Structure 1
Amino acid sequence: MSGKHTIPAVDKSLKLLQVLAEASEPMTSAQLARKLEITPSTCYRILQTLVGRDWLRGTSNGAFTFSAGMFPLLKPLSDYQKLFESLGAPLRSMVDQTGLTAKISVKQGDVASTVYRVESPRPLSPSFKVGGSFSLAYGSSGACLMAELADEEVDRILSECSSEIWAYQKPEDVWARIRSVRDTGVCLDCGMYQPSVYGLSVSVHNRDQRGFAALSLIGWANDFTEDKLESLKQSLIECAERCTATLGEKAVA
């Protein structure tokens, strides 16, 4: 996230909440300070502020986890999830037709987050959990979500990526996927995120024809051979159009 027009203390607090949300168990103040690379005193003050709001609570072993004060904040998220669950019918139809896993991703800061999925009926297929997130620099869905950004913003996101993101790709590969979305509306990722996992994505648009989310089909390399690609693209485009129609006025970028 760009530091321009942001408040550092708020940014650190939100990052702390994100780290706790992604952790498999409660974390101590010392663990959080190391993870966030902030001073112990700063971490302590953030924690005490959040405990005071009843957003966090201390555990018996000195760690911290979420508290009941967070519940009122979750109501809009529940409505948001219901919005994407309304897309279940068109996604299930596409999965039945293609045999591949389908997922919806949205941009959250500098990451793409999976908000809805329909699993492939096949016994062995790639799987992505709802709530999982990864850098926008990865995959076809990230390219769809960045395609509407200004080039300067894309450059910033790529410049702030960790070295592990470039294990199987270069920045030029990301730009090639973005140009594919801008030029053709469709993007294919040939294992740049996970070498054996391929993805094909298009944008789901809102009423103003702006990209609202990314719709993806996920499978193995042999699912996206040249003889199958055009049919998959057509299925994906038709499903995205149905999603846009279903969302109607409820979709906002």
Structure 2
Amino acid sequence: MSDARHGAAAPASPGGTVQSVDRALDVLEALAERGGEAGLSEIAAGTGLPYGTIHRLLRTLLARGYVRQESDRRYALGGALVRLGGVAERMVATLAQPYLTRMVELSGETANLAVLEGDFVVYVAQVPSPRRLRMFAEVGRRVLPHSTAVGKVLMADRADDEVAALVGRTGMPRRTANTVVDLPGMLEELRRVRERGYAMDLGEEELGVHCLAVGVRDGARTVAAMSISGPAGRIEALDREELAEGMRGIARDFGTALGA
């Protein structure tokens, strides 16, 4: 790949990727993993890059609007990402529809797709249950992750210290009497999620509503969560392990489609 501005080939990493692009994406991901804002030392710790390299990358990202610098000299994700993110979410939502439809057919309940944006879970797609009494999570709705099945699945892909930092920023407000509101309890819950391969919300976000969620993986990372939600009695009547196994198969197919 030639660099038109310098008339030279851009350096490539051993895997055939362009090293400078890899490193710029590492910086953006480090900011995202820290809630969208971080100091230089935090970026260095998250990427393993030298300070001089980070400074050069940040200058370019600042100039293009993908990063901004706050008054306290910390760096934050910039507005230019909003346009890209909005387009990407719409494309992913369209791609997800047939897989969410399969989940509705499997469970008889409403199926949702959610991602983690900064410290919040955002619902990006949904296919409703055909039943008269059905649950809705409005597309575009932002919720805290600790009280939702999709949020637990997304947090379970992170190390305990990252989870602690995330809930330290957001707090863990009690949504219902069933909400887990302490860090040790949440870390134990996430351990169970990793062990069994799915997460449950048993009336923790809204009383009378139960959800089951599984992760969507793109290679080694969980990039989204898919869930079914419905009245507590109907969800409890389903065979949880059998349902989760079927949902994981659908999520694997969707992850393959995303990668393709």
Superposition TM-score, scaled by structure 1 size: 0.67
For the 8 Å contact 1:106–1:213, the answer to whether it is kept is yes
Which of 116-125 and 90-99 deviates more?
Answer: 90-99
Q: Which residue of 1 aligns with 2:108?
A: 99
Distance 1:9 1:101, change over 3 A: farther
Superposition TM-score, scaled by structure 2 size: 0.65
C-alpha distance in structure 1 between counterparts of 2:232 and 2:244, whole Å: 15
Give the gaps of 5 or more residues in structure 1: 18-54, 56-69
SS in 1 for 2:205: coil
Give the gaps of 5 or more residues in structure 2: 1-34, 41-68
For the 8 Å contact 1:126–1:219, the answer to whether it is kept is yes
Q: State yes or no: 1:144 paired with 2:156.
A: no
Q: State yes or no: 1:5 paired with 2:58.
A: no
Provide, for residues 228-253 of structure 1, a one-character-per-residue CA deviation record: whole Å limited to 9, x for no partner.
Answer: 2123212211211121122124xxxx
Provide, for residues 32-70 of structure 1, a one-character-per-residue CA deviation record: whole Å limited to 9, x for no partner.
Answer: xxxxxxxxxxxxxxxxxxxxxxx9xxxxxxxxxxxxxx9
Q: For 1:79-158, list aligned pairs within 5 A.
A: 79-158=88-167
Which of 132-141 and 90-99 deviates more?
Answer: 90-99
Q: Equivalent of 1:212, from 223, 226, 245?
A: 223
Q: State yes or no: 1:235 paired with 2:240.
A: no
Shift, 1:78, TM fit: 2.1
C-alpha distance in structure 1 between counterparts of 2:204 and 2:82, whole Å: 36
Distance 1:10 1:246, change over 3 A: farther
Provide, for residues 80-127 of structure 1, a one-character-per-residue CA deviation record: whole Å limited to 9, x for no partner.
Answer: 311231121121122023110111110111110001111111111110
Q: For 1:182-193, list aligned pairs within 5 A.
A: 182-193=194-205
For the 8 Å contact 1:88–1:118, the answer to whether it is kept is yes
For the 8 Å contact 2:39–2:73, the answer to whether it is kept is no
C-alpha distance in structure 1 between counterparts of 2:199 and 2:85, whole Å: 31
- The size of the alignment, in residue pairs, is 195
Q: For 1:11-26, list aligned pairs within 5 A.
A: none
Q: Which residue of 2 aligns with 1:46?
A: none
For the 8 Å contact 1:144–1:187, the answer to whether it is kept is yes
Q: Equivalent of 1:248, from 231, 234, 259?
A: 259
Distance 1:202 1:76, change over 3 A: closer
State the AA in 2 paired with 1:8: E
Shift, 1:2, TM fit: 7.5
Distance 1:176 1:139, change over 3 A: farther
Distance 1:177 1:248, change over 3 A: same
State the AA in 2 paired with 1:180: R
For the 8 Å contact 1:140–1:177, the answer to whether it is kept is no
Q: Which residue of 2 aligns with 1:202?
A: 214
Distance 1:76 1:199, change over 3 A: closer
Q: What is the RMSD computed on CA atoms of the aligned residues?
A: 3.0
